[in-house]
Amino acid sequence: MPRSYLRFPHLHGDTLVFTAEDDVWTAPLAGGRAYRLTADDVPVSRPRLSPDGTRVAWTSTREGAQEVFVTDLDGGGARRLTWFGGARTVGWRGSGADAEVVVLSAAGEASARRTWAYAIPAAGGAPRRLDYGPVSDVATAAGRPAVLLGTTMSREMAWWKRYRGGTAGKLWWDPEGTGEFRRLAAELGGQIDSPMLVGDRIAFLSDHEGWGNVYSLPLDRNGAGADDSLEGLLRHTDHGADGAPAFYARHASTDGTRVVYESAGELYLLDDLTADSAPRRLDIALGGPRTDREPFRITTDRWLDRAAPDRTGRASIAQVRGTVHRLTHRDGPARTLLAQPGVRARLAQPLGDDRALWIDDAEGEDAVVVAPLDPRADGAPALVRHAAGRVGRVLELAAAPDGSTAAIATHDGRLLVLDIGSGELRELARGADGEVSGVAYSPDSAWLTYADPVETGLSRIMIARLADDTLVEVTPPRFVDRHPVFTADGKYLAFLSLRTFDPIYDEHSFDLTFPASWRPFLVPLAARTPSPFGASPDGRPTTSADEGPEDLPATDPADGDADTDPDAASADAGEKAGDETAPEKDDAVVVDVDGLPGRVVPIPVAEGRLRGLGAARDCLLWLRNPVSGVLGEGRELTGDRGPRPVLERYDLVRRKVDVIADPVSSYEVSGDGNRLVVRDGSTVRVLRSDRSGSSAPSDSDADEFEIDLSRITVTVDPTAEWRQMFDEAGRLMRDHFWVEDMADVDWAGELARYRPLVDAVGSKDDLVDLLWELQGELGSSHAYVIGGGGGGDWSGRPGLLGADLERAEEGWRITRVLPPETSATRARSPLADPGVDVGPGDVLLEVAGRPVDPELGPAPLLVGTADQLVELTVRKADGEVRRVVVRPLDDDLPLRYQNWVNAKRTFVAERSGGRLGYLHVPDMVASGWAQLHRDLGRETSRDGLVVDVRGNSGGHTSQLVIEKLARKVIGWDVVRHRQPQTYPGDAPRGPLVALADEHSGSDGDIVTAAFKRLGLGPVVGTRTWGGVIGIDSRYGLVDRTRVTQPRYSFWFDDVAWDVENHGVDPDVEVVITPQDWAAGRDPQLETAVRLALDALESTPAVRPPDPATRPSRRRPELPPRG
């Protein structure tokens, strides 16, 4: 039998359960054939057998979000146990009719990272929250103390190996059973996972010795010393040692006497935890078909990556999930050019009239491929690959119009030119600060233009004469100039530039910004070519037939017909002056180098958020993105889909701009400039480049139409695709990790060690896990794999009422209705809407006319109701029964977060007598920036300020936040009838204290480090996450799984590189214990308030000046003459 990839094992007696191929399986513990317990084919995890071995509970995504299900081991249907909208299995408590399943969920919390433990009757019923505080795992057994694993950053131990930051697992235990938990094994100094009670020992996984292995400590801590002592510590596995598996031990679990775990997709059993115990591998064979490894067909319109039209606009080279095809646009077939399992093609496009050009990795590295469109035609050349292993990661590929050369922009900043005939590759240029972009040829194929990143944050437009590789600067490196393109007649070079400086005043704070500053510019290439927008001594000709070489372009076509067929017009122009879009030798593009930068002129259109500049016949094209809020707060109210780009056409003859497609995702121009292939989501259309109006073509339109993509058929071989994805992820990391030596990790060796496991994986979710573990070998933050195997029906998530409820007679009683935050549209509260009139003490009886289950509550009846109008039947406290209509939430986290912030702010105000302000910053992206400014002016006007970045999930705005917090009051603006204002505005008036914890990560680490480094005040809390090697998330694999490469490593002038994998140490450490959480105490915030008030005693807040101290301007008495 072939190897399988087995995960999440658990055992009871002679029975083993585990997950594989997106299902739960069972097998004899002695080994042999395994059988499926589920047939959902969705990602599943953490199956746990009941104490009597008759039932199994597990986590499944069959309803979209993770929920917990339970079934009898000997068969029967699965029952959904949780309706949290996110939960996972931990284990069982009790037995028989009293058996409960222990699960974790962040439902009802203000942060998704704060998962609490709940016990739920196995037969179904109301969850009972356990007073452990936020935890990542729990180990309990009758008559023995509870052992908790403090909340981690939800990263598996093997996904960031040798992690030592603030969220490293922390063990807590309650030896007396009083609810007073204490830290356990605090001196261990490594990552901890999977706590277990095994006999008279506490077992767990740890990698404090560099490899993930099973360890244990004696349960009798009196004989072993203090709680944090490591006396009696035993290691029971030797993963990483010679002769032992060279992979982490993972997902350990126990039946109370034995431990079973996974390593590299294989299962191992420890029969005991003695000093000489040794694991043995379990020989398990999966029975039944391996469904997810079987080939399957895909829907072309969903997986189309690109459609690049040929010269005539009659066909395109289409790229579909790594395959390449020639697709006629209408009344014709599709022809496959490349569909090789395990090979991914990218950047496919036409090359001349009879060939195609693309990049693929058939030889294990990116290579430039030249292939005939019809390999069976007489004299057709064979497909050939050039420069494999010499081009790195190709980012852009451009084919010369005459098919003689191809230009290549690579990940390491090189601009290469490939001679198609000889295969010779030469380096033309290299970017000094990153990648060359916007590569484009002149119509005569003699010149190449590109954007050159010559200085940090700046780029210039360059052109190169390919005959002798002469480089010419078109614009100086002063601005950001990008997207250069030659006009179709070869007379001009156009580009987009970020050089419009027309600021807009901010409405919320005193600030100015440049939200839309791109503008197109044009450069006449010949010294005597006039600007299309200029003047001439003889005026502008009326028809193109009257144009001289130094004339302005005529305002009308030669025949005076504005609706001339573009194909006929092109033919007429060819008869008169040769083909404009592909000049002959005597129509070569003329470039007068002297004075070229001085000939740059703006195109007279409004600036905006422009991208994707292109050239077609007599026009330029670009995409214009509307200026809109990042968070989409307004769209939340209106229900709009959101702003989409539009395609604008600037007519160089009429000097007029029109929107010709709305909305649009992307577009490509045919070689002759007469046709466009325009994409809007999964719809692809052929449009005329001279069209007017933005409406979609009608079914009867002969010139413009929708392309039928169903003629392309693609079958995916998952096993071959997974091997290709593994290798590509490895190359991307090799080429982009922030240091070339991979921080001393033998990356090639790691790839070789993990590669055989690809043939064992049985589903996409397995592959994602394998890639996570592979990238975890780098010991780096931000090495992510995003995009699992998908889930089931996401409508299975219940709608939420924004309230807390408890069981009551005949229904469920409302104990609290969360108030809405009107400044955050997602923080609405359905039961607080006007006219609903439902509040604490009211009892919910029915949902949509169906009685509320007395055990399960309303959640099962609210499934699929998010953002829908739903009728509730409510009995008021006075006995009145009312029917009300509400619109449930799909997520109440924004509402609960705002309620949490308000509670913290109220606490600070009350504890300080109104002297201290409070600000919480949840992240360092747009949502955190909005939250900071929501109360910035009010809170900074207090005598002191508590800045809370606990739970800050990072981003990129830390320097903006620090600029605000670091302001110092150096003056006052005193005005009559108003309160004095600080200069600068919103500057803190007194002492600052920051709060940070283990969940302050990434840019949350950086803002904490900056706060300390600038001496703004003390930091209170716990050590932060410790992940400051940033990413840009630019790369996707062939099935659109995103893989990130840590590229931007942060260095501080006081602690150097030491924030990564360590975190920022607080000035005053305050740990919130499980009992603090259970009691609702926040000792970190209490300490911050005390420190701020103490600081005010020694350093009072600044006060505005007394106007009585002003100088007198009274007119003096005139003294007598001397």
DSSP secondary structure string for all residues of 266-323: EEEEES--STT---EE--EEE-S--GGGS-EE--HHHHEEEEEE-SSSSEEEEEETTE
Q: Is the peptide bond before 984 cis (omega within 30 degrees of 0)?
A: yes
For the segment(s) 798-889, the CATH number from 1.10.10.10, 3.20.20.210, 3.40.50.150, 2.30.42.10 is: 2.30.42.10
Per-residue pLDDT at 714 exceeds 70: yes
Provide, for the chain, the percentages of residues in helix, strand and coil under a 3-state DSSP scheme, each rounded to the nearest 5.
15, 35, 50
Asked whether residue 1004 carries a pLDDT value surpassing 80, the answer given is yes
Q: Give the span between the Cα atoms of 972 and 703, in whole angstroms.
A: 68
Mean pLDDT in residue range 242-252: 97
Q: Domain-by-domain residue ranges, the chain?
A: 133-280, 391-559+581-607, 719-786, 798-889, 894-1027+1063-1098
Q: What is the pLDDT of residue 14?
A: 96
Q: Is 1002 a catalytic residue?
A: yes
Classify residue 1111 as exposed, middle or buried by CB count within 10 Å of its CB (0-12, 13-18, 19+).
exposed
**239 carries an active-site annotation:** no
- The catalytic residue among 21, 251, 1060, 1062 is 1060
pTM for the full predicted model: 0.94
**125: left (phi > 0), else alpha (psi -120 to 50), else beta?**
left
Which pLDDT score, from 0 to 100, does residue 566 have? 52
pLDDT exceeds cutoff 70 at 145: yes
Q: Based on the residue annotation, tell me whether 206 is a catalytic residue of this protein.
A: no
Buried b (16+ CB within 10 A) or exposed e, 161-189: bbbbbbbbbbbbbbbeeeeebbbbbeebe
Residue 192 has pLDDT above 60, yes or no: yes
CA pair distance 719, 732, nearest whole angstrom: 20
Q: What is the pLDDT of residues 933-965, one digit of tens each?
A: 999 999 999 999 999 999 999 999 999 999 999
Q: Residue 642 has what pLDDT?
A: 76
Which tens digit of pLDDT belongs to each residue from 534-581?
Answer: 777 777 777 777 777 667 777 665 444 444 555 554 444 444 443 444
The catalytic residue among 329, 782, 920, 1062 is 782
Q: Residue 401 — very low, low, confident or very high, per pLDDT cuts 50/70/90?
A: very high
Which segments of 699-842 are extended strands (E)?
A: 705-706, 715-716, 785-786, 803-808, 811-817
Largest CA distance in the chain: 122
The predicted pLDDT at position 305 comes to 96
User: What is the per-residue pLDDT for 581?
Assistant: 43
Q: Which CATH code is given to the segment(s) 894-1027+1063-1098?
A: 3.90.226.10
631 to each of 248, 642, 928, 929, 1032, how far by Cα in Å? 40, 10, 11, 11, 19
Q: In angstroms, rounded to a whole number, what is the distance separating the alpha carbons of residues 688 and 696? A: 12
Task: Give CA–CA dist 554/545, Å, rounded.
Answer: 8
- Torsion, Cα 543 545 551 555, to 10 degrees, reads 20
Spell out a b/e string for 618-657, using b for 16 or more CB atoms within 10 Å of the CB, else e.
bbbbbbbbeeeeebbeeeeeeeeeeeebbbbbbbbbbbeb
Tell me which fold the domain 719-786 belongs to.
Transcription Regulator spoIIAA (3.30.750)
| Residue 238, Cβ density class (10 Å: 0-12 exposed, 13-18 middle, ≥19 buried) | middle
Q: How confident is the model at residue 444 (pLDDT cuts 50, 70, 90)?
A: very high
> Is pLDDT above 90 for 151?
no
Task: Identify the active-site residue in 10, 958, 1002, 1062.
Answer: 1002
Q: How confident is the model at residue 409 (pLDDT cuts 50, 70, 90)?
A: very high
- Look-up: residue for tokens 């030659």? 486
> Crossing angle of helices 1083-1098/893-912, nearest 10°?
40
The helix-helix angle for 926-934 and 958-965 (nearest 10°) equals 20
Q: Would you state the pLDDT for residue 29?
A: 96
| CATH code for the structural domain at 133-280 | 2.120.10.60
Return mean pLDDT, the chain: 93
Domain spanning 391-559+581-607, CATH class: mainly beta
Q: Helix, strand or coil for residue 772?
A: helix
The per-residue pLDDT for 555 is 66
Instruction: Dig out the tokens for 798 from the structure.
Output: 């219940």
